[in-house]
Amino acid sequence: SKGHALIDRELYLPRKEWCENSDRRAEASIPEKVAFATKPALAGRMIERALDAGLPCAWVLGDEVYGSDRRLRIALEQREQPFVLAIRSNEKLWAVLDGHLGQHAASRLAARLPAQAWRRLSAGAGSKGERVYDWARLRLTRLQRHPWDHWLLVRRSRKDPKDLAYYVVFGPDQTSLATLARVAGRRWAIEECFEVAKQE
């Protein structure tokens, strides 16, 4: 990659503290037309604007707030926009477990991954060198359209095997596990941007 930057913004107003407080809104000069929207809904608007403007985007990344929003995930899939979105351990995903198709918690699916599914891979360079974790993935059961696929991606700490992070992935079916690990690791760049922006 050649760098990263913030390219858009939306004003998030908490419902109770701001949207339903007319005095506070008036004091801050927030127009009446600005209504409450969830963070994933705001992200969806910004992503749509960027893609509609022709901005190149290989992958969309986000934390659990965004990954747990099915509407955002479906909207990205409909645009055939690859994503790696973090999810909570209790997020229910469609997969075959013990020979039965159903919705299973990400943590339950991860617990059933065989030892040979795990690979030690870098999530990219950090301030102290390569950020190396153990990674595994499991194909999710969805109505797949060639050349697309869905996975549960799991990151495991080398120091504490109980420290797991979970991601739901939509991307080209030939995407390697090493690529997904690198892509998931790029989310730290977003946090860097936010830290820099807070200083300005």
Determine what percent of the chain is predicted with pLDDT higher than 90: 65
- DSSP states of 74-114 as a string? HHHHHTT--EEEEE-TT-EEEEEETTEEEEEEHHHHHHT--
Q: For residue 18, what pLDDT band results from cuts at 50, 70 and 90?
A: confident
Q: Is the pLDDT of residue 108 over 90?
A: yes
pTM: 0.90
Instruction: Report domain 59-199's class.
Output: alpha beta
Structure tokens at 111: 């617990």
Question: What is the tens place of the pLDDT at every residue in 31-61?
Answer: 888 888 999 999 999 999 999 999 999 999 9
Determine the pLDDT at residue 2.
Answer: 66
User: Which of 179, 178, 177, 150 is closest to 67 using CA atoms?
Assistant: 150
Structure tokens at 76: 């990205």
Determine the pLDDT at residue 105.
Answer: 98
**Every domain of the chain and the residues it spans:** 59-199
Determine the pLDDT at residue 42.
Answer: 95
**How far is the C-alpha of 165 from the C-alpha of 64, rounded, in Å?**
10
| Under 8 Å between Cβ of 91 and 105 | yes
Residue position matching structure tokens 């159903």? 102
Residue with more model confidence, 77 or 187: 77
